[in-house]
Amino acid sequence: MNQNCTALPKAELEALKVEYEAQYRKLADLKLSLNMARGKPAPTLLDLNADLFERMTDYTAADGTDCRNYGVLEGLPEMRQFFGSVLGIDPERIIVGGNASLNLMYDAIARLYCFGTSKTSAWSKEEKLKFLCPAPGYDRHFAITQSFGFEMIPVEMREDGPDMDKIEALVASDPAIKGIWCVPLYSNPQGICYSDEVVARLGKMKTAAPDFRIFWDNAYGVHHLYGKTKLADIFEACEKGGNPDRAYYFFSTSKITLPGAGVAMMAASIDERDFILKHMTIQTIGHDKINQLRTLRFLKDADGLAAQMEKLAVELRPKFEIVAATLERELGGSGLAKWTDPKGGYFVSLDTLDGCAKETLRLAKEAGVTMTGAGATFPLKNDPRDRNIRIAPTYPDCKELQQAMDLLCVCIKLAGVRKLLGEY
Amino acid sequence: MNQNCTALPKAELEALKVEYEAQYRKLADLKLSLNMARGKPAPTLLDLNADLFERMTDYTAADGTDCRNYGVLEGLPEMRQFFGSVLGIDPERIIVGGNASLNLMYDAIARLYCFGTSKTSAWSKEEKLKFLCPAPGYDRHFAITQSFGFEMIPVEMREDGPDMDKIEALVASDPAIKGIWCVPLYSNPQGICYSDEVVARLGKMKTAAPDFRIFWDNAYGVHHLYGKTKLADIFEACEKGGNPDRAYYFFSTSKITLPGAGVAMMAASIDERDFILKHMTIQTIGHDKINQLRTLRFLKDADGLAAQMEKLAVELRPKFEIVAATLERELGGSGLAKWTDPKGGYFVSLDTLDGCAKETLRLAKEAGVTMTGAGATFPLKNDPRDRNIRIAPTYPDCKELQQAMDLLCVCIKLAGVRKLLGEY
């Protein structure tokens, strides 16, 4: 346990500052060059997919479809069945996309903007558009709604999901609020899992907008590191709440097989699925069925997927443990930071003292470690308290990660005591 | 040479009708079940890609990029180089997409609609939108502009491209006309190739809309059956004409390698490329680089592509020759139809007597041969003279194709003499 810096007299802070500066210079002398900005899998994780690249001699789907040729817009039946069994979704609701669920999300917003929903008209015709953004959250979500001109309303995250009291109050009164971004399991960046109550309230809350949409990006839905965390069924919650069309569900194998060549999917109510397919059939003749077939033959079924996830977890657990152990050792009790302890997913979220995130990451970058930019986890990249840092431990190897974490901790401490000393 | 039916007295037409009815019944008794509705390659054509499915052990691009991971939004440098050398386009202009150029075209229209161009604002803000549709043309093009609410203006096709006198007059006076669909080489469905003069005039014509866009879908740009037909450089034509941002160029390997898993690309001026990438980087993290690598290793370079196209041509030439020979033998001189004689591409276009296309295709369908629907080659599926039929000879084998053509010719003759007899 470290001493609590926030309660120290100035002289002791000055002494700590000298100590941390020396530590910082020592680590800077290592001339590290590490990039931890994005949640990318390490080559060792990618190598677990070698069988995906075996020779392929049969291109035929279960129903006889020649997957080399055109067609099957909604995706191969066995691929939809697979996603359905893994996620507990009726395969009828599922549309298989290309290699990126982000692309499906962007296109969903674009479709709502240009054409509306199965029951309501184009969002572009409305004077003002707003979107709820639980924050800290995923920068690429926020970039989409920013690009389409939405006013983004940050909502605080709690231990079991976003602040539902605030959300219910907002959506009940403002018809311009059209939707919400959610990463319901092992949220990016905190690793928070939505409780059953939060899911139920999202499904049943009264919204002034009749076409309110939940963007349910279950990106880490199977990325358990220490046993399975259950997630309530958002479609069931919406149906029980009398809002059957409310949820759009997204998922992909990008962080299961290959980020660059995974298989993405979305799911929705049958009415919305029909509406989406009606537009998608004009957008494309069909997504890559060969990759669907390859991916499915590699993962096989829900059990095969679970086995693959466990292989990934074997690689990932030590990395998350390095992060947790280093933070606890260097910062535990110091009062200079608090952080999350995710049981799955891809990230750890850390809050410095107010006003210290930018300075911390500047110091880290100058010493050779690039982290996700300060503010990136908030809409418009604006972290009002300048304190959130996203740690992405998946790409570096364990040795590099340890070096990066050592450096990050020193930067947090140095920026923290300087802040306490009123130096910036 | 057949006798010219249009000049025959009624009694002789009645006799022909009896003869054609007998021929029709005989062919109907074969109980054929052939679908020639879409331009799909035959399995024998797809089999020429077997090497695409070899085991892959190296996933690294020339610049060291691990293609399994995220990134490289604009496409692998060597893939852009490849497309550039095949099409005579500066690789800097090229963005590699997913598996479908149609998707890139749809997204381009959606982007123009939502965000405009690098120099002008969103098309959705304008009161009225119109698009030029050389017709007969490609139904999926027309479906895109229909879906976004454009009024579509059909423009007649001539032997060397669309009617440029009409186009120049239209675009000069009407700022609502925002663009034109073009398949400049071996057009769908006629197989017409745009002359240098047409290309030059498209590039330099004065348009009332400052953001007029040419959608240059060079889908059959390398699909020569009898030696290379040259196509003038649309980018050069636009630059010479003082309209450097005017053309969006589309191409894909869908009908070279695999329709379901090809590699698509688009190209534009550098300003427009930057604008497109600025939006695309929000839409996706990157397209499938593994498929880019596979496709490139299979096709190798411009020479490798030419060798592959010649293999395809060996399969396709007999099919186009069956179509041409059967039409000439059965209908030549009859006055009941005229048709094109393409030197490449995927289709043959046939015009019956006015008002006979629907009836002809109804007869064919009843006897077991489904062709592309009557009217499909016109905006809103409305062929004002009900005469155009698209023949897609690529999918059936030669025996099936001969049967289908025999039947089609009988249907054209039967529908034609009945029309001349005033029966419908």
DSSP B197-212: HHHHHHHH---SSTT-
Per-residue pLDDT averaged across B332-360, rounded?
A: 98
- State the DSSP code for A229: P
Minimal Cβ distance to A259: which of B69, B124, B254: B69
Residue B414's closest CA among B19, B76, B6? B19
* Mean pLDDT calculated for residue range B148-155: 98
Which tens digit of pLDDT belongs to each residue from B39-98?
A: 999 999 999 999 999 999 999 999 999 999 999 999 999 999 999 999 999 999 999 999
Contact between residue A182 and residue A203 where contact means Cβ atoms under 8 Å apart: no
SS3 B100: coil
- Do the beta carbons of residue B418 and residue B352 sit within 8 Å? no
Chain B partners within 8 Å of A288 (Cβ): 98-99, 260-261, 288, 291
Report the residue from B66, B260, B284 with minimal CB separation from A100.
B284
Q: Are A144 and A98 in contact, with CB atoms under 8 Å apart?
A: no
Rounded Cα gap, residues B367 and B25, in angstroms: 8
Q: Which residue of A has its CA nearest to B261?
A: A288
- Residue B214: pLDDT band (50, 70, 90) is very high
Question: Smallest Cα–Cα separation from A113: which of A84, A149, A158, A63?
Answer: A149
Angle, helices B270-283/A139-147, rounded to nearest 10 degrees: 130
Residue B424: other Cβ atoms inside 10 A: 10
Sheet of strand B247-252: strand arrangement: B94-96, B264-267, B247-252, B213-217, B177-182, B130-135, B151-158, B161-162
Helical axes B139-147 vs A270-283, angle rounded to 10°: 130
What are the E-state strand segments in B204-333?
213-217, 247-252, 264-267
Output the pLDDT for position B323.
98
Measured between alpha carbons, how far is B282 from A217 in angstroms, rounded to an integer?
16
How many interchain CB pairs under 8 A, A with B?
Answer: 145
pLDDT 10s digits, B236-274: 999 999 999 999 999 999 999 999 999 999 999 999 999
* Range list of H helices, A91-195: 101-115, 139-147, 164-173
Inter-chain touch A260–B71, beta carbons under 8 Å: yes
Question: Which stretches of chain A drop beneath a pLDDT of 70?
Answer: none
The pLDDT, as a whole number, for residue A5 is 96
ipTM above 0.90, yes or no: yes
pLDDT confidence of residue B301 = 97
Residues A106, B282: C-beta atoms closer than 8 Å: yes
Of A41, A110, A279, the CB nearest to B69: A41
Instruction: Return the beta strands (E) in A201-262 as ranges.
Output: 213-217, 247-252
Cα→Cα distances B260→A283, B191, B255, B308, Å:
14, 23, 9, 18
CA A367 to chain B, closest CA, distance in angstroms equals 25
Task: Please tell me the predicted confidence (pLDDT) of residue B1.
Answer: 79
**3 state DSSP class of A398:** helix
Contacts of A279 in chain B (CB under 8 A): 147
Number of H helices, E strands in chain B: 13, 13
The CA distance from B26 to the nearest CA of chain A, in Å, is: 32
Cis amide prior to B136 (ω within 30 degrees)? yes
Q: Where are the beta strands (DSSP E) in B32-182?
A: 34-36, 94-96, 130-135, 151-158, 161-162, 177-182
| Least CB–CB distance from B46: residue in A56, A69, A261 | A69
Check: CB of residue B411 under 8 Å from CB of residue B374: no
pLDDT at position A1, please?
79
Instruction: Using CB atoms within 10 Å of the CB of residue B82, give its burial: 0 to 12 exposed, 13 to 18 middle, 19+ buried.
Output: buried
**What average pLDDT does range B277-291 have in this prediction?**
98
A404: helix, strand or coil: helix
Rounded distance between C-alpha atoms, residue B19 and residue A41, angstroms: 71
pTM of model > 0.80: yes
What is chain A's Cα-based Rg? 23
| Burial status of residue B171 (CB atoms within 10 A of its CB: 0-12, 13-18, 19 or more) | buried
Judged by CB atoms closer than 8 Å, whether chains meet at A56 and B53 is answered as: yes
What residue type is assigned to position B30 of the chain? L
Count CA atoms closer than 13 A to B346's CA, side-chain side: 24
Q: Which helix (H) or strand (E) holds A157?
A: strand A151-158
A124 and B143 in contact by Cβ < 8 A? no
